[in-house]
Amino acid sequence: MKKAKYIIGLCTMGNSSACLFRDKELVFAIEEERITRVKNESSFPFNSISACLEYEKININDIDEVCIYWRPKKVMTRIWKSIQIIIMNFFSIGVILKHIYNFFINNNKKKNGSWIDLFFIKKILYKKYGYKGKISFYNHHLCHALSAYIVSDKSETLCVSFDGGGEDESTVIYKISNQNIVKLNSVKWPNSLGHFYSFFTGFLGFRMLEGEYKMMGLAPYGKPSYVKELSKVVELLPGEKLYKFNFNFASYHLALYGIFSQKIKKIFGKNRNQSEEFLEKHNDIACSVQRKFEDIFDHILFYYNKKFNFENLNLLITGGCALNVTNNGRILEKKIFRKIFVPPAPHDAGAALGACVANLITKKKIELNEINFDNPYLGNKYENIDVKKLLDKNHNNIEYAYEEFDQLYKIVSKKLSEKKIIAWFQDRSEFGPRALGNRSYLADPRDDKIKDIINEKIKKRELFRPFAPSCLEEDKDIFFEINQSSPYMNFTCKVKKNMQSKIPAVVHVDNSVRLHTVKKIDNPKYWNLINEFKKLTGIGVLLNTSFNIQEPIVESPEDALNCFLRSSVDFLVINNFLISKK
């Protein structure tokens, strides 16, 4: 029998992660934050590498090649440019030294390493792990593009990859058809849509590089009254130049330290502190930034629509900015492409997959069309025997019962129909930032009051943030205005008018939802649960939000039990066990 060849892909900065391919099959992927429990973990993914090896029961020297999602030497130009921008905008030795300290030194305090490790990847792998194989580095945005293409139906595709920045590019446009990958254009960093959006995230008092989705959730509460003023911050350019971010006017780097120029304050007023209440102007700024972001994306597509017939093309949207589900849903609603695909992990963590794909098509000579991704459940699975041991150790705090699954989902769906909130933990964890039915809080979408209960008493988050619906694939056209599936919860769409009153707990203020469609073949357990709820209520939809409280989504049964015990959730389900508090 031919020995399997393994390659590991790594994201080593931002959202650290690792994935494992056996030959051309993706068998495992996990983000470092799921294991360390540190939100947006940026340290070297030691734990994720170990998890990959443990899953397949191999050691590091069974790995043929390690594939990295960026080229570290090229990033040095970004570091020096960052310092130049700080000097130009706010000459302060203190700020410059703090920037250097945070980037290179402060993260050394982390038990898993620091960002300085990122420039010594080979040394880490060879010295710490005793690895003796090959290490290859690939272009950041190419990795994003390839991680998205394997999720698609492999038709001819236009791909927009955009984020804060790769090595020296922030937006890259590709045209992909099987092995033919053509780079059409790029926008050089620091002209960055990601930094534009993140700058105003900080201005509105949210944590930059984390709270962008909060600003997106706030946007529908406001009016786009600042769009004209935002033209001073980000400008549309003709032809292939596409856009320019005025980083000297709105310094992303200073915003990281809560410093905003008088020029910005003169236009938009004083920046909001985290503890301040939201005013109407804050809602309007959020709405305007979202609108300007969308205008720039339209501007990019308009330019390429002159060159290609979009009706014959798919669109891939990837990179950190692809997490802007409002923009994704808006483009989908226009119906100008055959299909639109956004991968389950479009942010940097998912680029680890793209690094492996780049390796497979360039060095292993595997056809791009042969590499498939149709299952986001790529993390660890935990056996009932180990779950029972955990529950028995905690017998003073909980009660539990074992149920065969064909009875369990019926019991749980009945409790959901009775307005109980359920913490639901099944099988392998999802790869990416979305809870897709294996690590979720679930509730009845018919009860409008339940969203405030979950926000205030369980998730402990802002009341303006909406919850997503998980809907049976077969029923999506009954409830929602959408013309394709949304298996990874990466598109918003409108709720049909006659259905808005039937599922009010998942309908946002603008009558939109961030939809998750569930096929039986993809997740039979979750599908059966929703289908049973439909039998009881006539509604094939559940409220679904990530199983966590101000932390990464739970990964292990221990995480799940600890989170459950400090929450107000009524019941916890782990595999076949139905658990309640004493």
* Structure tokens, 435: 């809870």
- Domain end residue (candidates: 374, 397, 432): 374
- Residue with the bigger pLDDT between 270 and 76: it is 270
* Structure tokens, 527: 């599908």
Question: Do 250 and 395 belong to one domain?
Answer: no
Q: What mean pLDDT do residues 204-225 have?
A: 96
- Domain end residue (candidates: 322, 342, 362): 342
Q: What is the per-residue pLDDT for 111?
A: 44
Question: Do 79 and 90 belong to one domain?
Answer: yes
Question: Do 181 and 216 belong to one domain?
Answer: yes
Percent of the chain with pLDDT over 90: 80
Residue 108 has pLDDT above 60, yes or no: no
Question: Do 76 and 191 belong to one domain?
Answer: no
Helix (H, G, I), strand (E, B) or coil at 376: coil
310 assigned to some structural domain:
yes
Question: Do 271 and 295 belong to one domain?
Answer: yes
- Give the domain range for residue 282: 152-342
Residue 197 backbone phi and psi in degrees, to 5: -70, -40
Helix (H, G, I), strand (E, B) or coil at 102: helix
379 assigned to some structural domain:
no
Question: Do 71 and 100 belong to one domain?
Answer: yes
Question: Could you tell me the pLDDT band of residue 110, with boundaries at 50, 70 and 90?
Answer: very low
Question: Do 460 and 538 belong to one domain?
Answer: yes
* Structure tokens, 22: 């056996």
> Which one, of 225, 65, 228, lies nearest residue 135 by Cα?
65
Q: What mean pLDDT do residues 172-179 have?
A: 90
Question: Do 353 and 421 belong to one domain?
Answer: no
* CB-CB contact of 136 with 65 (8 Å): yes
* pLDDT tens digits for range 7-28: 999 999 889 999 999 999 999 9
449 assigned to some structural domain:
yes
Q: Residue 246: exposed, middle, or buried by beta-carbon count in 10 A (0-12, 13-18, 19+)?
A: middle
Residue-wise burial string across 376-408, b where 16 or more C-beta atoms lie within 10 A, e elsewhere: bbbbbebeeeebbebbeeeeeebebeebeeeeb
* Structure tokens, 196: 């534009």
46 assigned to some structural domain:
yes
How does strand 180-188 pair with strand 6-11?
unpaired
Question: Do 360 and 490 belong to one domain?
Answer: no
Question: Do 411 and 498 belong to one domain?
Answer: yes
> Which one, of 576, 574, 543, lies nearest residue 561 by Cα?
574
* pLDDT tens digits for range 396-447: 999 999 999 999 999 999 999 999 999 999 999 999 999 999 999 999 999 9
Q: What mean pLDDT do residues 25-42 have?
A: 96
Q: How many domains does the chain have?
A: 3
Question: Could you tell me the pLDDT band of residue 2, with boundaries at 50, 70 and 90?
Answer: confident
454 assigned to some structural domain:
yes
- Domain end residue (candidates: 320, 342, 364): 342
Q: The domain that contains 506 carries what CATH number?
A: 3.90.870.20
Q: What is the per-residue pLDDT for 104?
A: 53
Lowest mean pLDDT among 154-158, 259-263, 308-312: 308-312
Q: How far apart are CA 151 and CA 343, in angstroms?
A: 6
Q: What is the largest CA-CA distance in the chain?
A: 71
Question: Do 402 and 536 belong to one domain?
Answer: yes
Question: Do 182 and 99 belong to one domain?
Answer: no
438 assigned to some structural domain:
yes
Q: The domain that contains 276 carries what CATH number?
A: 3.30.420.40
* pLDDT tens digits for range 55-84: 999 999 999 999 999 988 777 677 667 666
